[in-house]
Amino acid sequence: MSNLRQRAAAPSRSLSPTLPGTPGLDHPAHLDQILVGDCVAMMERLPAGSVDAIFADPPYNLQLEGGLTRPDQSKVDAVDDDWDKFDSFEAYDAFTRAWLIACRRVLKPNGTIWVIGSYHNIFRVGTILQDLGYWVLNDIVWRKANPMPNFRGKRFTNAHETMIWASRSQDAKSYTFNYEAMKAFNDDLQMRSDWLLPICTGSERLKDGEGAKLHPTQKPEALLYRVLLSSTNPGDVVLDPFSGTGTTAAVARMMGRHFVGIERDPAYAEAARKRIAAVTPASAEGLASQRPKRAEPRIPFGAVLEAGLLTPGDELTDAKGRHKALVRADGTLEVAGTTGSIHKIGAHVQGLDACNGWTFWHTQKDGAPRPIDDLRARIREGLGLAS
């Protein structure tokens, strides 16, 4: 995807995009803002159950010992900042437990959380997630198209990071997963759990006044685009407790989602604000995604008769014309003295336990069989219920 940054003069700090579902005078003060402070303390100020999704990119606790150099002895710009240093695994675990508890409080019952990490920390994070009651839905491998080489030649090149996607609890069944949208995004193939994407480079990478990387672990916008497209909807609230330079918030703003970013470094927070304010939200029409059939309003087969799209006594067939059924006035079908719903009779003639009658049964249109699901779609359109 094209990067979201626009070369424009930095506007004011006010970030009030026109988003689907934006509240009016009751718009919470924390919404669509980058908050500066400790993430646990700041999350304690947020209302419980107020967040639809969380993307967390916590410190990895890389445990680097000394600087890294290339074969030509030039220094590698590695992550050696104080925020990534912990005295022990126990200290890191306590830190992880604290922020995950805070996240779980603000997450809606049907909300989900994404946590990204490397082999240094992701297994510890996963254990604590499960200990706290989260339910792991997937682990996603972000395979880097252009990873940093292994300069010492003593290990495999670290070419991926892992994201854990989890619901708030095992009982949370109504979490958002835009399966159809992700399949369409992936050229009508199911989206797999290994994503090949480049690391953040070029004009997307924020630089300081001397041209150096502003933040050592800035994530690519393409990664967040895929995360938010798959697990959120326009108008949802997305929290990033380790906001950094605001990648999550910038992508959320463009995609019509609300955001709450928390960052303890004022310099990172200010850079994020400027970056986010330069992003233009996409139009509501452009943000529309394919909806699953199960999310569409239910239309009974009898409504097709009420609308005059079929008449009692009409004949329905399967796509190849091998099976025929008579339409009755009460919305049932009859085949050789056996009556029942479009689904029951469709299963009966095939000798199956179940059948989707809307796609199995067909009517003739312009000399060709058309599924009766087309008639249901016409009714939805007439009622203004089409997706």
User: Residue 55 belongs to what H/E stretch?
Assistant: strand 51-56
pLDDT at 160: 93
pLDDT along the chain (387 residues), means of 10: 39 39 60 95 96 95 56 50 72 94 98 95 96 98 87 83 97 93 92 92 80 80 95 96 95 96 94 94 83 70 93 95 95 96 96 95 90 91 61
Q: Extract the tokens encoding 47.
A: 């209302």
pLDDT at 62: 72
What whole-number distance in Å separates Cα of residue 203 and Cα of residue 223? 16
Contact 343, 357 (CB under 8 A): yes
pLDDT at 292: 61
pLDDT at 64: 54
Contact 76, 151 (CB under 8 A): yes
pLDDT at 80: 56
Nearest to 279 by CA among 309, 253, 242: 253
Q: List Cβ<8 Å contacts ≥24 apart for 22-27.
A: 22/235, 22/258
Contact 67, 76 (CB under 8 A): yes
pLDDT digits (tens, 9 = 90+) for 63-105: 655 554 445 555 445 445 564 577 888 999 999 999 999 999 9
pTM for this entry? 0.70
What whole-number distance in Å separates Cα of residue 274 and Cα of residue 272? 5
- 54 — alpha (psi -120 to 50), left (phi > 0) or beta? beta
Contact 49, 108 (CB under 8 A): yes
DSSP-based three-state secondary structure for 112: strand
pLDDT at 84: 54
> CA 320 → CA 7, 31, 127, 316, distances in Å?
58, 55, 53, 11
Superfamily of domain 33-64+77-293: Vaccinia Virus protein VP39 (3.40.50.150)
Crossing angle, helix 247-254 and helix 221-231, to 10 degrees? Answer: 60
pLDDT digits (tens, 9 = 90+) for 99-148: 999 999 999 999 999 999 999 899 999 999 999 999 999 999 999 998 87
Contact 137, 166 (CB under 8 A): yes
